[in-house]
A and B are shown apart, each in its own frame.
Chain A
Amino acid sequence: MPAFQQPPLPYAMDALKGYISEEQMSYHYEKHHASYFTKLNKILEDDPLSEESLEDVVIASSGGTFNNAAQAWNHAFFWNCMTPSASQGPSGPLADLIDRDFRDFDSFKRQFSAAATTLFGAGWAWLAIDPTGKLSILPLGNADTPLKHNQTPLLTLDVWEHAYYVDYRNERPKFVDGFWDVTNWDFVAERLAGAVA
């Protein structure tokens, strides 16, 4: 059995339709995400790193191993950041931290959207928390992830063109805007609780 298994999508392939079509999601999950696992397992065949957790491989690796491990991890994380039954926004300690570090929720959304929209080329927009408990927005290129920068990822949006090209073509800003309708704030709150525990 291969060392790393692609986790199941946490909802049906068409569950986010209106934001992400079934066709777009199928390519993204069944082709792109799956192939990062296939390539990673091939690269790490007979390598002791394959005994580690995927997250530890991301932190420990570089080059092609890192690219595939990080993309495998990032996408699995990204699926969890979305839900067909989204709430309006963050609440509790997460909402307090967002207000503290970004002034208010609207201002956070504007800054995150700007980071996602202006990231040049392929990459990911992240909300992350550093070891001192401070939140920040990180636009990171290609497969790069806050895990590599001693930060804990809380939320991410994939802005590789393959994430939106079937549905939105060149209109990345529309794809970014729509993300707020499906953001899984419960997942983000759980991640925060885990990070500060």
Chain B
Amino acid sequence: MPADFIPSTQDLLRLLPEAVLVAAGTIGLVLEPLLRDSRKRVTGVFSLAGLIVALWAVVVSRAYPGTAFRNMIVVDGFATFFRTLVIAVGILTVILSLHYIQRERPESGEFYPLLVFSVAGQCLMAVGNELIVIFIGLEISSIASYILAGYLRDDPRSNESGLKYFLLGSFATAFFLYGVAWIYGATGTTNLREIGDIIAKPEIRPPLVIVGTSAALMLVGLAFKVAAAPFQIWAADVYQGAPAPVTAFLAAGPKAAAFAVMVRILMVAFDPIGAAWEPLLWIVALATMTIGNFAALVQDNIKRLLAYSSIAHAGYVLVAVTAHSDAGSAAVMFYLAAYAFMNVGAFAVVTHVARAGERRLSLSDFAGLARREPAVAGLFTIFLLSLIGIPLTGGFFGKFYIFKAALESRLYLLTILGLLNSAVAAYYYLRVLVAMYFHEPAAGTVEAMPVTPGVSFVLWFSAGATLLLGIFPTLVLQFADQGASLALVR
């Protein structure tokens, strides 16, 4: 073997965003104890700067497409798309949290570096071309998220959320890892492309039952991470108990990265045995949508309602994964981008309305919001309409591309059931809208409170992005299309 231990400059540039993020996170954590209690917010500003530099690094590394570190990672359109998405979600979450953390736990500043680490893990998942790298990315992202979910450690709700996320997340990771071990045993490699090549050749292919079992084990692990049925139980509790900005992050960032991994593993490594996993995903997609939507109908807590809605949305994305085509992958990417913005926006509203200690989370707390705070109510309306999938919003085109891809792959029944599901979903979003516009506020309701600049920025930015995706979807779709076809290059 030639002695080329020193990676080339191109290799390093391809990993630049992750390097920037890990450096920013590490420096942030070192900086934190040096700051006086009143100045802990500095780590937030520092992390924000780190994330913005990482976004620039994504653009830099985009100029060097290809694999690096002996095929360990691959920079392609697919990876660039998801890197951009998770970093954008990270930036919005930091801005959303600046005031919140200051209010709820002012004496600590490690929130932001942990968030940056989580984003670094998600970036690594997006570029991982090899199961061990993907595993490490998944764990960096997850371990940091466990702490974030339980960040308000004196609040029983928050640490219960962290505990449940930790237990079920690690449980799922073990399944994923067992699948990796078996595929390593069966094919002798953990490189996705090599696995795909070996499985594609009938003469050297290991027994289908072993390959199928390892694929199933990995899918179980990933289904946990994206909260797909029948492994969705944890999501409602975790999303409800975590601090609102963290919930916004969890439902957008880690979920998008886990879907990126799922699509890459299925489309590259297990592409040849598509006939085996498509029916399985068909059932999972339908069950996820249905369970999410019907459970959301009876929720009275807004965070829990949005948590079930998040499960339902994962179901729609799984429909696009089931389509098993370029168009399907592009729809996955577009939908996750659209969902990220409307979800972060909706949780920004929740952050604002819930107020100190997150005491005001029931649907009745939203009664009369339109009269009290018309701007907030108006922006929330945009997010809710987008979550329903009304035209002129990102959610509409997301659903449109998903069901279009599903129809192209002849998933007629699944498309019909998916559309029926969307109709059911409209009911519980409209309940929130009706409460905001037509219900009288409960007696003793506190007066309107000014929106903090951070929340206000996130609200307007997310609303702008949601409308932009709804009016000019091709802006993002063309990136998704390029990325999707690159992911499938064999």
A and B: interacting chains: no
Q: Which residues of B contact A (CB under 8 A)?
A: none
